[in-house]
Amino acid sequence: MGLKWAATAAAVLCFAMLALLLGMGGGQDAEPQPGPDDGPWSTTLKPDAVPDWARAPLLHAAQRCPEVTAPVLAAQIETESNWNRFAHNGKSGADGLAQFLPGTWAQYGVDGDGDGRADPRDPADAIETQAAYMCYLVAFCRKNSGLRGDLLDLALASYNAGPGKVKDAGGVPPFAETVRYIKKIRDLANTKYGKTETPQNSGGRAGAVIARAAEQATAETPYAWGGGTLEGPSRGTGRDSGVVGFDCSSLARWAYYQGTGRQITLPRTSTEQFTATRGQPVSVENLQPGDLMFWGSGGEIHHVALYIGQGRMIEAPQSGQVVHETAIRVKGDYAGAGRVFGGPMDIAANG
């Protein structure tokens, strides 16, 4: 498994038609797109599906880029080594959970646990390096815009067969092992290790809240410190006194108020919103669309964003920027998440 660099001519002929179905070839200006039958990738990890020692490293490593999620990393590890940290391929020299070749490890190896050395048989190092290398391959495939096929499929093919083979083929190369590799990881990530999220959670109300926030992201509404009311954008204060828009907490407040038909009114500040949802804390692996994510420390919260599913959120970031959708961030002073639906504000609003 992992980083295979060759295939037989017979395999090339046998799987040529299958490669075409996966998107091989195409115009030079085409962005990699999902195949017609591929479907979405699940992005939220089923925490009980992985060994206890792997859960934290997987969730940490999955923060490197939005395409490489914890379920994908878990499915890839099962495919590469079946969770055996001492796995070794005597023929290729590939080592560890993620089956890195010595040369690739020497170039990309990461000290994931900060012990001063990068060891392919150390789970924290192996998983962090696996994610770092996969994100590099995602960037490689995105940069080579002539490639056809799902972007993550292309990155997985690059991990298995080598990025040069993917570039030469114009997409997923027609190698039997590579085609099986992608299919197995996709199946495992979407079933055993991943759970599907949709904005229809919480009786469909989360979808309406998210839709309102998305309107402001589409409109690129400016960030305005102190701006934003229950009725829409308004003039900010202080350094943003000349800007009409939302700050982070007023955006969340407006989206909930408008998205629930004026039933749920969140407190005004991010600190107050954190306190109001503290009774329903949510771990990263159990986030659902509509949850509020917070940043700060010592009880002082300085930022809030609306989780929208698939590892993404909508936020009003800071002065000089606009409301936008982005990948979630759970590093630095991330303080946790809270759920509005089913909590005291929801119960009070609905009697």
Confidence of residue 197 (pLDDT cuts 50, 70, 90): low
In order of 59, 60, 61, 250, 255, the CA distances from 295 in angstroms are 18, 17, 19, 15, 19
What's the mean pLDDT in 228-245? 96
pTM of the model: 0.55
Active site includes 302?
no
Is residue 54 scored above 60 in pLDDT?
A: yes
Q: Round to whole Å and give the CA distance between 132 and 61.
A: 8
Return mean pLDDT, the chain: 85
CA 278 to chain centre: 24
Confidence category of residue 43, pLDDT binned at 50, 70, 90:
low
Please tell me the least confidently modeled range out of 19-23, 260-264, 295-299: 19-23
Mean pLDDT, residues 251-279: 95
Instruction: Evaluate whether 336 touches 282 at the Cβ level (below 8 Å).
Output: yes
Cα-Cα end-to-end distance for the chain: 57
Mean pLDDT of 76-105: 96
Q: What percentage of the chain reaches a pLDDT higher than 90?
A: 67
Radius of gyration of the chain (CA): 22
The pLDDT value recorded for residue 330 is: 87
User: In the prediction, which pLDDT does 3 show?
Assistant: 41
pLDDT at 175 over 60: yes
Dihedral sign (CA 115, 119, 124, 125): positive
**What DSSP character marks residue 239?**
G
Is 116's pLDDT higher than 60? yes
pLDDT of 194 reads 86
Check 248, 285, 302, 325 and give the catalytic one.
248
Q: Name the pLDDT band for 44 (thresholds 50, 70, 90).
A: confident
Q: Residue 258 pLDDT more than 50?
A: yes
Confidence band (pLDDT; 50, 70, 90) for 199?
very low
Catalytic choice (80, 128, 141, 303):
303
Annotated active-site residue in 135, 177, 315, 324 = 315
| pLDDT score recorded for residue 37 | 35
Answer whether 307's CB lies under 8 Å from 313's CB.
yes
pLDDT value at residue 47:
82
Phi (first) and psi of residue 338, to 5 degrees: -135, 155
Q: Is the pLDDT of residue 91 over 80?
A: yes
pLDDT of residue 351: 61
Give the per-residue pLDDT at 299: 78
Query: Which pLDDT score is estimated for 41?
Result: 65
Average pLDDT over residues 249-276: 96
Q: Residue 265: is its pLDDT beyond 90? A: yes
pLDDT digits (tens, 9 = 90+) for 67-83: 898 899 999 999 999 99
Active site residue 14: no
Quote the pLDDT of residue 51.
95
Q: Is the pLDDT of residue 195 over 90?
A: no
pLDDT grade, residue 346 (50/70/90)? confident
d(CA 282, CA 285): 8
What's the rounded Cα separation, in Å, for the pair 226 and 39? 41
In eight-state DSSP terms, residue 25 is: S
